[in-house]
Amino acid sequence: MTDIHPSDETAEANTAMKIAVVLRSDLEPWQRLNVAAFTISGVASQKGAVGEDYRDASNNLYLPMFKDPVLVFGAGAEEMVRTIERARRRDVSFSIFTRDLFETFNDIDNRAAVAAVPVGELDVVGLAFRIDRKSADKVLKGLKLLR
């Protein structure tokens, strides 16, 4: 799967990157926020995704944030499947959140819930990735920004 490696950081600095979160349009507002928060944490784990710490004029230190724009898209069930297929065909690394994870409350149970379901039966309600903008646009083709 496509991932940014330390040796790629110089090339990445010259490449326009995009972070995308794709959420099922039929989720409740609280579910959308939950899924977005969890899937984006996978992106944050990638080398080069997060910038430097912030500091205000009073010298207070704040946690760093993403270096790239984050866009949130909505998708119906079929659009989610199509987006996942496109990402896989392009060897894109992405995080997922399945509907089963609304019933789990820790990382161990989350992993077990995903591991128990074959890929074709995963009910993915959200995903997130960070790749170059051109590739992202191909994976996201046809999706609209979430409103």
Largest distance between two CA atoms of the chain: 53
Assign residue 143 a region: left if phi > 0, alpha if psi is -120 to 50, beta otherwise?
Answer: beta
Q: What is the pLDDT of residue 10?
A: 57
Q: What is the pLDDT of residue 63?
A: 98
pLDDT of 14 reads 75
Name the pLDDT band for 6 (thresholds 50, 70, 90). very low
CA 32/CA 11 separation, integer angstroms: 33
